[in-house]
Amino acid sequence: MAILIIILTITALIGLWRLKTLTPSKEPIKIDEIR
């Protein structure tokens, strides 16, 4: 059960991270450098 919770939290964090990247904020995000 613990593994399922960890997977769900990771997927949720990735989803939030993707939403932040799709919607550009006021400041330019430095995600292009990481890729």
Secondary structure (3-state) at 27: coil
Q: What is the pLDDT of residue 26?
A: 59
Measure the CA–CA gap between 18 and 22, rounded to whole angstroms: 6
Residue 18 amino acid letter: R
By the 8 A CB rule, do 3 and 13 touch?
A: no
> Tell me, what's the pLDDT at 17?
85
Q: Which residue has the higher pLDDT, 3 or 31?
A: 3
Which pLDDT value is given to residue 21?
Answer: 75
Q: Average pLDDT in the 7-19 region?
A: 90
Helices (DSSP H) in 1-35: which residue ranges? 2-22, 31-34
Q: What is the pTM of this model?
A: 0.50
**pLDDT > 70: what percent of the chain?**
60
Q: What DSSP character marks residue 24?
A: -
Judged against a pLDDT cut of 70, whether residue 32 lies above it is answered with no
